[in-house]
Amino acid sequence: MSDQKTDHLHAVRHSTAHILASAIQRLWPEVKLGVGPVVENGFYYDIDLGGEQLSADDFPRIEAEMHNIIKAAEPFERLEMPVLEAVGWARKYGQPYKEELLNDLQRSGTTFAKDLDADELGLAAEGDSKVESVSFYRNGDFTDLCRGPHVEATNKVGAFKLMRVAGAYWRGKEGNPQMQRVYGVAFETPKELRQYLDMLEEAKKRDHRKLGQELDLFVFSDLVGSGLPLFTPRGTVLREELEAFSNELRKDRGFEKVSIPHMTKKDLYEKSGHWAKFGSELFLVKSQETSDELVLKPMNCPHHTQIYASRPRSYRDLPIRYLDTTMVYRDEKTGELGGLSRVRSITQDDSHAFVRPDQIEQQIDDLLASANELYGTLGMKLRVRLSWRDESDAYLGSTELWASAQKQLKNAVIANKLEYFEQEGEAAFYGPKIDFMASDAIGREHQVATVQLDFVMPERFGLEYTTEDGSAQHPVMVHCALLGSTERFLSVYIEHTAGRFPVWNAPEQIRLISVNQEEETIKFVQSVVQKAKGLGLRTTVDNSNESVGKKIRSAEMWKIPYTVVLGEKEIGGSELVPRIRKDLAVNDEAKSYALDEFLKTVANEAKSRVSKTSL
């Protein structure tokens, strides 16, 4: 809000939201209005048309009405009135949602709408003192409770476009009635709007679901079920390379791999506390033999605690660090599923360190360093969120422990010079988290890496170690996943790379194209494949009866890092001219290399996980 440009854009968007509401009220005089805040790139307005449902088909007439209002150049006038009077106004004009907000405002001096601050609600609630009066803005025959500011008149807004209509619960609570939320984008100039819409078109091209299909990385099957992705050979190479890197980073720092079954008696989760909190989201498994109630594991920490608990531990043994990349299963609601970003079979590159209190700091440092190394190598910039508890009773453990845990996480983040933001209500029920957030192609944020500090689980499972003075003490658990979930990570990573994977994790690293199908050529190509495979390079051959041009085109579309055409010239000489994928190449010139030198260079690049070629 500091600079003028931001302020003005904000006013433009907010004013456009009012124009939207005005237009809807003219077309549907019975409309009951919710809130209409500014959001990234635009605005929305929540409406309730009683029985009628708006659809995108209605947008043309709404937009036409909006343009009429804009043409009319109605000035935005600010009015002020005491809260009590405002309640009367809301009642008089049949606006129950506004009335509810005003009543709350009157009662407590603030509104409780979750995650919507007073500014977004358009309320005049400032500071924490009791609010005496609220402001309204009027344009033409439309008046709305609103803090402002607005542009001077309706013709001073910029370019806008209604985007979609979606359901949204009143005040974000599932039990409340569902309103319709009309989303629009708005910018100061038509050019900026066009640029934004073009950007969205570009983003569609790198949508991980589209690329997953085009590059043959993963599929879904109606017979298998929704939210259950199947990874093809190519997709499996990609995920295993990434998982191997993630594991390596922690093995280097003292973690050891463990393995656990994918199901367990539900007793395990009753003990951990997960059953009480997430029981309805577990898949149940029935034994035909015993009376055991089994569940598919929705997470791994309880299993890992049982490995720790299997023998007495000394303070000298700590830290004990387990690493496990394994699938968990969660019965996510159908409407929450989407591509790879939200699935029901979730691979976690999970780890749990059991440490003494004096080892917490070092452990968190190690994990933050691992995360930095991973995302640095991948060229991804992440936002760091400190996920704290809120005042609700959704958390286990004493408030003192929580305060101490949150403080230690914050110190670690500061010590590692990470930029961060803090958010209440985002913690796990057993402890606070450092979450790393990545953005997808259209700017939606997803949590990837996470480091969590947990004093609760060791206590619930009665985990102990013997201290120097012979007494028993609970270890502290540090939970960590670097990719987070392989699936969700891939959804972001595929979009981040647009499917142009670096050599080290590219499913296909080199493609050899034969100029013709003569025996001599085929034989030569085979000998090159043998050499490349001998160096561990993922190499394929295109011997098909197609033109060289077509085979090159095909290799380009598969986004393969290196393509080599082999024919008479190569058989005769010992040099070849690799075709290097554009984003990898340092310059555009095609150069020739000795066969062995070329292969060795590529093999080294793959091993060292570099993002650019040195060829």
Partner RNA sequence: GCCACCUUAGCUCAGUUGGUUAGAGCAUCAGUUUUGUAAACUGAGGGUCGUCGGUUCGAAUCCGACAGGUGGCUCCA
Residues from 6 through 25 that contact RNA (CB under 7 A): none
Residues from 46 through 65 that contact RNA (CB under 7 A): 53, 55-57
Looking at beta carbons only, is 62 or 299 nearer to RNA?
299
Q: How far apart are CA 483 and CA 489, in angstroms?
A: 6
**What percent of the chain is helix, strand and coil (3-state, nearest 5)?**
40, 25, 35
Q: Is 480 a catalytic residue?
A: no
Do residues 44 and 180 lie in contact, with contact meaning Cβ atoms separated by under 8 Å?
A: no
DSSP state of 41: T
The verdict on whether omega for the bond into residue 82 sits within 30 degrees of 0, i.e. cis, is no
Verify binding: residue 444, RNA, rule CB under 7 A.
yes
Do residues 229 and 487 lie in contact, with contact meaning Cβ atoms separated by under 8 Å?
A: yes
Verify binding: residue 397, RNA, rule CB under 7 A.
no
Amino acid at the residue 308? Y
Do residues 37 and 30 lie in contact, with contact meaning Cβ atoms separated by under 8 Å?
A: no
Q: How far apart are CA 409 and CA 361, in angstroms?
A: 8
Q: Which of 18, 234, 304, 330 binds RNA (CB under 7 A)?
A: 330
- For residue 341, the minimal CB distance to RNA (Å) is 8
Residue 382 CB contacts under 8 Å (≥ 6 apart), including other chains: 375, 436, 437, 438, 448, 449
| Choices 17-25, 72-80, 218-226, 319-327 (CB under 7 A): range interacting with RNA | 218-226
Residues from 489 through 518 that contact RNA (CB under 7 A): 515-518
Do residues 552 and 563 lie in contact, with contact meaning Cβ atoms separated by under 8 Å?
A: yes
Sketch the per residue contact string, 166 through 185, with RNA: x for CB under 7 A, - otherwise.
xxxx--xxx---x-xx-x--
Q: Which of 32, 385, 389, 579 binds RNA (CB under 7 A)?
A: 579
Q: How far apart are CA 544 and CA 546, in angstroms?
A: 6
For the four alpha carbons of 427, 433, 439 and 443, in that order, the dihedral sign comes to positive
- For residue 581, the minimal CB distance to RNA (Å) is 9
Verify binding: residue 546, RNA, rule CB under 7 A.
yes
Provide the strand spans (E) within 455-561.
Answer: 465-466, 472-473, 476-485, 510-514, 539-542
Catalytic one of 301, 313, 435, 509: 301
| Choices 68-76, 371-379, 498-506, 559-567 (CB under 7 A): range interacting with RNA | 559-567
Looking at beta carbons only, is 515 or 535 nearer to RNA?
515
Q: Which of 60, 82, 190, 225 binds RNA (CB under 7 A)?
A: 225
- For residue 586, the minimal CB distance to RNA (Å) is 17
Q: How far apart are CA 244 and CA 524, in angstroms?
A: 34
Verify binding: residue 257, RNA, rule CB under 7 A.
no
What does R_g of the chain's alpha carbons equal in angstroms?
29
Q: Is 198 a catalytic residue?
A: no
Amino acid at the residue 218? F
| Choices 120-128, 246-254, 567-575, 601-609 (CB under 7 A): range interacting with RNA | 567-575
User: Total binding residues for RNA by CB under 7 A?
Assistant: 73
Provide the strand spans (E) within 291-444.
Answer: 293-296, 320-329, 345-355, 383-388, 420-424, 433-439
Verify binding: residue 523, RNA, rule CB under 7 A.
no
Q: How far apart are CA 592 and CA 577, in angstroms?
A: 4
Verify binding: residue 526, RNA, rule CB under 7 A.
no
Q: Is 330 a catalytic residue?
A: yes
Q: Is 408 a catalytic residue?
A: no
Residues from 340 through 369 that contact RNA (CB under 7 A): 342
| Choices 133-141, 273-281, 395-403, 498-506 (CB under 7 A): range interacting with RNA | 273-281
Q: Is 18 a catalytic residue?
A: no
Q: Is 362 a catalytic residue?
A: no
Q: How far apart are CA 429 and CA 435, in angstroms?
A: 15
Verify binding: residue 82, RNA, rule CB under 7 A.
no
Q: How far apart are CA 173 and CA 115, in angstroms?
A: 11
Verify binding: residue 339, RNA, rule CB under 7 A.
yes
Q: Which of 470, 545, 587, 589 binds RNA (CB under 7 A)?
A: 545
Verify binding: residue 115, RNA, rule CB under 7 A.
yes
By annotation, the residues acting in catalysis are 301, 330, 348, 350, 352, 433, 479
